[in-house]
């Protein structure tokens, strides 16, 4: 079992990917004292709340809030579910190949960004990317476990955590899955649709 999970981790390190494109957005100051909260409402009525941590990844948080306010995520899906590992969403094509038009700097240690010490534990939300460290745009993943996923620390930009409703994210693993191009049993047969995301006070 550990061997299988290790293979999955290798796959995600190589393939937490999508074809992000466009220019890096203009950087503006972020108030790192404010923990903005985002409510995610699923099409089936489930809800969960993400708290963002700009003290770890300010540009990542800013980009995520921008996309939420633009309603970019409304109607998109969680296209990749790996039980015990993570749930990935935010792909504009619903298959994990596309993102938003703008890419951002990778705020993690192996990209020279040392202040991001947020560990990829259960409930933590982090950015997906290609092998290009600065390719993240809109795709994100939510960690299911404290085990194994910590190998992503310093390699992906964790930027917040699910603080309410993690059972809704857990329920994604209960749907019927089929295989993706990497050989993972990870693609929901029935789409797991995000009805809306909104910044809340």
Q: What is the pLDDT of residue 151?
A: 87
Give the pLDDT score at 39: 98
Predicted local confidence at residue 145, as pLDDT: 92
Given this model, what pLDDT does residue 160 score?
98
DSSP string, 69-138: HTTTTTT-EEEEEETTTEEEE--TTSSSSB--S------SGGGT-TT------TTEEEE---SSTT--SS
Q: What is the dihedral of CA 91, 12, 185, 18, to 10 degrees?
A: 20
Task: Give the model's pLDDT for residue 60.
Answer: 98
Six-digit token string for 84: 């015990």
Q: How far apart are CA 190 and CA 4, in angstroms?
A: 25
Q: For each successive 10 residues of the chain (201 residues), what is the average pLDDT?
A: 43 43 46 87 98 98 98 98 96 90 97 97 97 97 87 96 98 96 94 97 74
Bridge partner residues of 38 (DSSP): 50, 199
What distance in Å separates the CA atoms of residue 71 and residue 73, rounded to the nearest whole number?
6
Question: Which residues lie across from 197 on neighbouring strands?
Answer: 40
Tokens coding 163: 């603080």
């Amino acid at each position: 079992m550990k061997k299988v999970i290790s293979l999955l981790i290798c796959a995600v390190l190589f393939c937490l990917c999508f074809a992000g494109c466009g220019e890096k957005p203009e950087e503006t100051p972020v108030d790192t004292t404010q923990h903005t909260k985002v409510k995610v409402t699923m099409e089936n009525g489930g809800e969960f709340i993400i708290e963002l941590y700009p003290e770890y990844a300010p540009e990542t948080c800013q980009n995520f809030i921008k996309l939420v306010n633009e309603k970019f995520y409304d109607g998109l899906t969680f296209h990749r579910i790996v039980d015990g590992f993570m749930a990935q969403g935010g792909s504009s094509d619903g298959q994990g190949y596309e993102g938003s038009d703008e890419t951002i700097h990778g705020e993690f240690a192996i990209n020279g960004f040392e202040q991001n010490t947020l560990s990829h534990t259960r409930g933590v939300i982090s950015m997906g990317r290609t092998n290009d460290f600065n390719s993240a745009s809109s795709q994100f993943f939510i960690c299911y476990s404290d085990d194994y996923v910590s190998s992503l620390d310093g390699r992906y930009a964790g930027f917040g955590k699910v603080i309410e409703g993690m059972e809704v994210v857990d329920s994604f693993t209960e749907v019927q899955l089929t295989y993706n191009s990497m050989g993972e049993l990870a693609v929901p047969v029935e789409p797991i649709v995000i009805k809306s995301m909104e910044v809340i006070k």
